Amino acid sequence: MFFRRKITAPPALTLEGALGPNDRLDRAPAIAVPSPQAMCLADGALLVSSGQNVLRLTRWGDAPQVWHRFDTAVTALASHGDRVAVGLGTELAVLEAGDQVPWPAPQARSIADLLFLSGDELAVVDPGYGPDQPILSLAPWDDVARGQVLGIRAGGEARQIAQGLHCPMGMVAEGQSLLITELDRARIVDATGKVRLAGLPGYAGRLCRTARGYALACLSRRDPLIEFLKTEPAFVRLMKDSIAPQHWIAPRTSPGFAHDLPITLGATRLHGAIKPWAPSFSYGLVIELDATLMPTGSAHSRANGLRHAISDVCDWNGDLIALSRASGEILNLGAA
C-alpha cells in the first residue's frame, strides 16, 4: 500500500542533453521530392529515390534530375565506385555506368538497406517483412526476430552475415564488421548480434558514416504508450485479432490526424494548434553519434512540425543530408 511497485523500464535515453528538442529539421533548407525512401552518394553526386525513380543531385540547390526509372518503388540504394545497387522490394538491380550488371536476387522477404562490402559483394538487410507489409505497424507487436543480413556476390555465392534480428532497418560498415539498426528494439547491434547501443529514444532507421562518427535516422520517437501496451498481452491479442494492421496503434510516418487513428491525451489541440511538446506517434529525429556510438547531437521535428519519419541520412560534402518521408523532402542539416 505504501510502497509503490517498482516498474522497471528498459534503460532508455531520454530526449535531453545532446538529444534535447530543437527545430533543426523544421528550419533546414529543403528540396521537395515526392515519396523519398533511400539515398546514396555516387561519384560525388547524391542519388535519392523518389517512388519508382532515382533522382540525381550534383549540387545542393540544383533541381534533381531523373537518373533512372524502375518498374517498382525503390526501397534501398548503395554505391561502390561506379556501381550502384538498387533495392526494388524483393528485387535487386545493380547498375554500372548506366548498364545493368547481372546480380543474383537475395533470398530476402524485402530489401530495406544495401551496402557494398566489396566491389562484388553486397550486404542486404532483410527486415523480415514483405515489401507491401506495413512494417511500422507490425514490428512493435511482433515478438519474432525474423530479420537477417545476407551477403550476395555477383558470382552467385550467398551467405548469411547476421540472423535473428528484430526488424533490422539499416546498416553501416564498421571496419570488417557491420553495425545494424533494429527498428522497434531501438538499438544498434553488430553482425554477431552483440548490442552496441540500446535504449535509443527513437525507432531506428538507417545509419550512415559521418566525418565525426555516425548519423542515425529515426522513423519516429519511441512512445511510452506503445511501450506500455506491449506489456499488455490481452490488449495486443484483441488488437491483432479484431483490427486491421493499418489501424493498429503504432509509430506513424505522417503527422496528420485521421478519424480512425488513435491519439494520446496530450495531443489534443487547443485553439486549433498542437503543442510542440505534445506526444505524437510520428516524429522527425536524426541522432548524431561519435565513433564510439555516444550521442553528440540531434535534429528534431516535433509534434507541431511536418518533417517527420526520417528514412535516411548521409554525409554529402560535409553536409548532413536527411530524407523526410512525411513531408517528401531532402533536408540539408548543415555541417555534419
Partner 1 sequence: MTTRTDFNSLPRQPVPRLVLSPRRILSDVLSRGGVESIIPFLALSATVIGIVIATDGYFAASNLRNLAQYSADGGLVILAMLIVVAVGGLDLSVGSSFAMSAFVALYGFHILGLPVPAVLALSMGSGLLVGMVNGVLAGFIGCGALLTTLGTMITVRGIFTLASQAQLVDIASSARMDDLWDWVGFERVLTLPIGFWVLAVVAVLVFVMFRQTRFGWHILAVGGNRKAARNGGIGVRRTIFAAYALAGLIVGIAGFLFAARQNSIAADTGIGMEFFVLTALVVGLGGFVPGRGAVVSVLLGFATIYILNNVMVNSGYRGDFVQLAMGSIILVILAIDVRFRKNRHRLLASSYLDPVALRVAPVQGMDGMMPDQIAPALAAATVLGAGRVDGPEDVLLDDAGNLYCGTRDGRILRLAAPDFIQVSELAKIGGRPLGLAFDAAGRIVACVAGMGLVRVTMAGEVALLTDQTSRSLFSVQDDTAIRMADDLEIAPDGVIYFTDASKRHDIENWGMDLLEARPNGRLISHDPRSGKTRTVCDNLIFPNGVCVTHDGKYLLVASTWACSILIFDLANLAAGPRVFLSGLPGYPDNINRASDGGYWVALAGMRNPVIDAAMTLPGVRRRMSKQVPPTNWLFGNLNIGGVLKLDAAGAIVQALWDAPDGPLYMITSMREHKGALYLGGVTNDKIGRLDLPGADAGWTGAGSYRAKG
Residue ranges in contact with partner 1 by CB under 8 A? 1-4, 7, 223-225, 228-229, 232, 234-235, 238-239, 242-244, 247-249, 256-272, 278-279
CB atoms closer than 10 angstroms to residue 334: 14
Cα torsion angle, 251, 257, 262, 266, sign: positive
Q: Which is nearer to partner 1, 256 or 318 (CB)?
A: 256
Minimum Å distance from CB 300 to partner 1? Answer: 17
Residue with the three cell numbers 537475395: 106
Minimum Å distance from CB 46 to partner 1? Answer: 31
Minimum Å distance from CB 244 to partner 1? Answer: 8
CA 146, CA 144: separation in Å to the nearest integer? 6
Q: Give yes or no for a contact between 38 and 311, defined as CB atoms under 8 angstroms apart.
A: yes
Can you name the residues that pair with 315 across neighbouring β-strands?
320
Provide the grid cell at 9: 523500464
Provide the grid cell at 101: 550488371
CA 85, CA 241: separation in Å to the nearest integer? 39
Q: Which is nearer to partner 1, 66 or 244 (CB)?
A: 244
Q: Which is nearer to partner 1, 127 or 255 (CB)?
A: 255
Minimum Å distance from CB 238 to partner 1? Answer: 5
3-state secondary structure of 187: strand
Q: Which is nearer to partner 1, 71 or 260 (CB)?
A: 260
CB atoms closer than 10 angstroms to residue 65: 11
Q: Which is nearer to partner 1, 3 or 194 (CB)?
A: 3
Minimum Å distance from CB 155 to partner 1? Answer: 49
Q: Which is nearer to partner 1, 100 or 242 (CB)?
A: 242
Minimum Å distance from CB 4 to partner 1? Answer: 6
Q: What are phi and psi of 39, to 5 degrees?
A: -150, 165
Residue with the three cell numbers 511500422: 136
